[in-house]
Amino acid sequence: MQSSKMLGSCVGGGTLSAALPRRALKLKRLISPNSPLLPSHQFHPISRRLTASASAGAQQQQQQHQHQQQNPNLVALEYADLNLNPTISEELGLGHGRIRQHVNPLKTSLSAPVEVPDWNQVFKDPTLPLMVDIGSGSGRFLLWLAKRNLVVRNYLGLEIRKKLVKRSQFWVQDLALSNIHFMFANATTSYQQLVSSYPGPLMLVSILCPDPYFKKRHHKRRVVQKPLVDSIVNSLMPSGQVFIQSDVLDVALDMRDQFDSHSNILTHIREIDTSVLCDSEGWLLNNPMGIRTEREIHAEFEGAKIYRRVYQKQTAFAEGTVFNSSTMLILRWKISAKPSPLLHSITTVSFSSSASTFTPAATADFLHSYTVTPPIQPWPRRLYPKRLISLIAHQPNLDLALQIFHHASKFHPGFSHNYHTYHAILNRLSRSRAFHRMIDPLLSDLKNSQIQCSEDIFITLIRNFGVLGRPKLAFKAFLDVPNFGVQRSVKALNVLLNALVKNSEYGLVHSVFKNCGQRFGVMPNLSTCNILIKALCKKNDVETALKVLDEMPAMGFVPNVVTYTTIIGGYVSRGDMVGAKRVFGEVLDRGWYPDATTYTVLMDGFVKQGKLVDAVKVMDEMEENKVGANEVTYGVMVEAYCKEKKSGEAVNLLNDMLAKGYIPSSTLCCKVIDVLCREGKVEDGYELWKKLLKKNCTPDNAVSSTLIHWFCEKGKVWEAKKLFDQLDTESIPSVMTYNMLIAGMCEAGELCEAGRLWDDMVEKGCTPNAFTYCMLIKGFCKIGKAEEGIKILEEMLDKVCLPNKSTYVMLIEGLCDSGKEAEVTKVVSMAMSSGDANIASWDLLVTKFVGDSDTGGNLLDRILLENVT
């Protein structure tokens, strides 16, 4: 609906139908429900009612069409095996009256939570995993599931229409089901109280085709609101799932956005199970439940698309709670016996030739005959350590990777772990902060398994802990090495010291170095001394580093080029280029040849002090000594030339870099192209970028955005559009790229083209930001259509995209210049209601409008009164 507010009138003064952007044309179609261009499923049944002005023939035709689409035989065929009593409504005294399609959940009678039932009376076994269906409707969907999973899961349906609940409960009794219950309840107010009292785990929540409430003022009645979503996420057990679907895209997007806001807790099912088929937007292509809801049946019969999405809760280990692998497997056993993790559906997989079957028997017999479901499918029939390592390494979900590891040893016949499988799982877990608490139990299992251990597994842990900023865990892993019958080596010591340096634990580095022989039984080597010198230099204690350098021969170590390069880096960091040059001279005096890193460190020091000439001399000396420059060397010097606005030298050096087989980073390319553009050589920058792309340089939106910006600055907006179109064929442009081109089009007065770009931007999933809105407002103000800017501002606030302070000032000035003073009060009121009215806005208002004390006073009174009331 964005284009409707943005381009509601012609830029040139006439109609926009000839050059209207796609989203504006779509809006015109949406205005009329009878438009043949739009399928009928996009509208609520009430919206399909015929107007009083329609002819009798049209009414009859519409009624026949509705009757055909809502034919109850479709539902009866889908749920035929339930064999439900078709005359139940009459027997219950529900009569022939139509059951209300919509009930206002905000009315007072539904505001109080329902009373929590006695779960022991409701379910035969209230400890089974629970599925809650919010808005269970007629109940057929839940009944079908419950009938097939009598001893696996309990089902709770929450419905706000009392007659449907009464009929559903009759069917429960008629089918003699003890694992399903329906309640008349408003989920918004009752959900939390109900599920928190349930003694078993909550493993699945479904919200399927909820009431859409199309009118914007009724959106607050929609069931999926933030408080309910928060309650669902908090009440789900780890690995529990949420299944949402709707045949109305707007409702589906609203639900998706609500649950996507918990992306730190909920994971899209596609990230867990890559076999799940989804479209490019993440909507599931197939129903994962094995049965369709009634609304789904009718919608698909009408040709509508069903938008489905499934989320799974990550193994969010609550503080003080430990979920070990056995716990998770027991939970999975309780949920179901289907191989696929998707919604934990209901069939078993056995390693034997025949599958296990279920009957409602005694618990002991059931447990004896049950086969635990593998955490992934397909599970290999023949499993060996290398295959398991591959499964663990390629599993994106760490929780599943851990379950795979435990399932293999506990439930796969004949399989036992070795050192390499433990190494694989510990490597994966130690690279994620969320799973560090699972490492100690695994190490304990490894220790008790009598598997011969190696130091490599601890080196991996130390390195990964260091990368993640956990130096204490790295140190603990180093201390644990002897507990596994392994002797510490200098390699582990050096990895630990590097991890400590990386996390700025310089004092601890010195302490470990001094005690490495006596306390840890490890003798240092040359690399250990170099790491200590690096720590001292990073601590800005070059003097102590020099002392260590002098003492190294006494310890039996001869300093090498790395040692001196580290000392030079210490001088460079403190800005002492005299000291750096002196140490560099010592390297030459000893007859050593500095490597490319040594020269690069020295050049970088001169560049940081703005001494480009000295840096160039060092590079020339480097070439004379036949030391080849590396990628970092080129990067330092190219950036230096860009900083000094020497585009020619920067381009020449970049070409040398390419000739030697180095691929410059996109950041470096962007800096060179920006310098060329600032010097007015936009075409040269464009040609350079095309050359870089041919040399396999990675396409980058930042470079394209830079070129587009400078093309627009020179007034060459259509050249910029041509470049944009070429970019569009290679990758999806970023918001920044769209913004650059939209800003250029607005500046050039090409508002229709800006609108088309906006349409394309939204269609490709790029959300407009404050800059995008501001550019459009500026464009309309520039061509004298400031009143259109008000529509954009309204939409901007609706999208909770807060305007800049200058946006209001710019719009007010535009309204003043176009003679629309009457609209200014509306803008100021919007600014006050959003809390964005600043001094500049008030100054402009007072200066331009409140010159006359009488009219000005009345104007201010009216604005203040509107916002107070």
pLDDT level of residue 734 (50, 70, 90 thresholds): confident
- Measured CA to CA, the distance from residue 5 to residue 793 in angstroms comes to 9
Contact indicator for 755, 7 with CB cutoff of 8 Å? yes
Find the CATH number of the domain harbouring 105.
3.40.50.150
Spatial separation of the C-alpha atoms in residues 183 and 163, rounded to whole Å:
11
Q: State whether 33 and 144 are in the same domain.
A: no
Tell whether 44 and 86 lie within a shared domain: no
Model's pTM, two decimal places?
0.51
* Angle (CA) 137 138 144, round 5°: 110
Q: Indicate whether 831 belongs to any domain.
A: yes
Q: Is residue 622 pLDDT above 60, yes or no?
A: yes
Identify the domain boundary among 293, 323, 353: 323
Residue 352, pLDDT > 50, answer no
Query: pLDDT at residue 834 above 80?
Result: no
Query: 323, 341, 365: which is the final residue of a domain?
Result: 323
For residues 114 and 182, state if they share a domain: yes
Q: Which residues contact 19 (CB under 8 A, 6 or more apart)?
A: 752
Backbone phi and psi for residue 481, each to the nearest 5 degrees, phi listed first: -55, -50
pLDDT above 70: residue 93:
no
| pLDDT at site 518 | 87
Whose tokens are 């993790």? That residue is 341
Q: Which residues pair with 308 in a beta bridge?
A: 245, 284
Peptide bond into 378 cis (omega under 30): yes
What's the token pair of residue 105?
């959940």
pLDDT of residue 861: 55
C-alpha 613/C-alpha 563 separation (Å) is 27
**Whether 82 and 204 share a structural domain:** yes
Q: What are the percentages of helix, strand and coil residues in the chain, rounded to 5?
A: 60, 5, 35
Average pLDDT value over all residues in the chain = 78
Q: Is cis: bond before 201, omega within 30 of 0?
A: no
The reply to whether 319 falls in a domain is yes
Own/partner contacts of 823-828, CB < 8 Å, gap of 24 or more, are 823/786, 823/787, 823/790, 824/848, 824/849, 825/859, 825/862, 825/863, 825/866, 826/790, 827/790, 827/793, 828/863
Say yes or no: 93 and 193 in one domain.
Answer: yes
836 is catalytic: no
The pLDDT value recorded for residue 86 is: 65
| Beta carbons within 8 Å of 237's beta carbon, 6+ residues apart | 129, 201, 202, 203, 313, 331
pLDDT tens column, 684-717: 888 888 888 888 777 677 788 888 888 888 888 8
Q: pLDDT by residue (tens digit) across 275-291?
A: 788 888 889 988 888 88
- Residues 153, 293 share a domain: yes
The burial class, CB within 10 Å (0-12 / 13-18 / 19+), for 826 is middle
Mean pLDDT confidence for 486-495: 94
Q: Does residue 356 fall inside a structural domain? A: no
Q: Which residue has the tokens 């060459």?
A: 716
Kindly give the pairing relationship between strand 307-313 and strand 266-268: antiparallel
Provide CB contacts within 8 A for 162, sequence distance 6+: 184
6 and 118 in a single domain? The answer is: no
Average pLDDT score over residue span 303-317 = 83
pLDDT score at 341: 42
Please indicate, yes or no, whether residues 122 and 220 belong to a single structural domain of this protein. yes
> What's the confidence (pLDDT) of residue 317?
41
How does residue 833 score in pLDDT terms, banded at 50, 70 and 90? low
The whole-angstrom separation of Cα 436 and Cα 473 is: 9
- Which tokens is 404 given? 């795979």
Q: Is the residue at 853 inside a domain? A: yes
Is 56 within a domain? yes
- Rounded Cα gap, residues 417 and 420, in angstroms: 8
Query: Span 218-222, mean pLDDT?
Result: 86
- Main-chain phi, psi angles of 202, to 5 degrees: -90, 115
| Mean pLDDT value across residues 331-338 | 41
Q: Which helix (H) or strand (E) holds 364?
A: helix 363-369
Q: Are residues 15 and 80 in the same domain?
A: no
Assess whether pLDDT exceeds 90 at residue 731: no
Residue 597 is which amino acid?
A: T
- Listed in sequence order, the DSSP H helices in 415-525 are 419-430, 439-448, 456-467, 471-480, 490-502, 506-515
Confidence of residue 858 (pLDDT cuts 50, 70, 90): low
Q: Looking at residue 750, what is its pLDDT?
A: 83
From the candidates 81, 118, 125, 211, which is the catalytic residue?
211
- Measured CA to CA, the distance from residue 498 to residue 495 in angstroms comes to 5
Considering its fold, how many domains does the chain have in total? 3
Contact 828, 864 (CB under 8 A): no
Residue 25 pLDDT level (bands cut at 50, 70, 90):
very low
- DSSP code of residue 278: B
Strand partners, 134: 158
> What are 379-423's pLDDT values in tens digits?
898 999 999 999 999 988 888 899 899 999 988 989 999 999 999
Query: Are 86 and 130 part of one and the same domain?
Result: yes
Separation CA 146–CA 490 (nearest Å): 62
Do 53 and 83 lie in a common domain?
Answer: no
**Cα–Cα distance, 437 to 137 (Å, whole number):** 43
**Three-state secondary structure of 526-568:** HHHHHHHHHHHHHCCCHHHHHHHHHHCHHHCCCCCHHHHHHHH
The residue behind tokens 């429960």 is: 172
Q: Which residue has the tokens 């582990």?
A: 492
Comparing C-alpha atoms, which of 184, 263, 257 is closest to residue 222?
257
Instruction: Tell me, yes or no, whether 218 lies in a domain.
Output: yes
Q: What percent of the chain has pLDDT over 70?
A: 77
Give phi and psi for 62, each to the nearest 5: -65, -40
Average pLDDT of the residues in 211-216: 85
Given a contact cutoff of 8 angstroms between Cβ atoms, the answer to whether 302 and 69 are in contact is yes
Task: Provide the pLDDT for residue 714.
Answer: 82
Bigger pLDDT: 853 or 796? 796
Q: What gap in Å lies between CA 545 and CA 532, rounded to an integer?
A: 8
Domain span at 784:
771-869
Q: Classify residue 394: in a domain, yes or no.
A: no
Q: Please say whether the beta carbons of 664 and 658 come within 8 A.
A: yes
Of 717, 805, 728, the C-alpha closest to 754 is 717
- Residue with the bigger pLDDT between 352 and 840: it is 840
Instruction: Classify strands 241-246 and 180-184 as parallel, antiparallel or unpaired.
Output: unpaired
Whether residue 49 is found in the same domain as residue 81:
no
Per-residue pLDDT, averaged over 781-810, amounts to 79
pLDDT at residue 421 in the model: 95
Within a domain: residue 607? Answer: no
Say yes or no to pLDDT of 762 above 50. yes
pLDDT > 90 fraction of the chain, expressed in percent and rounded: 36
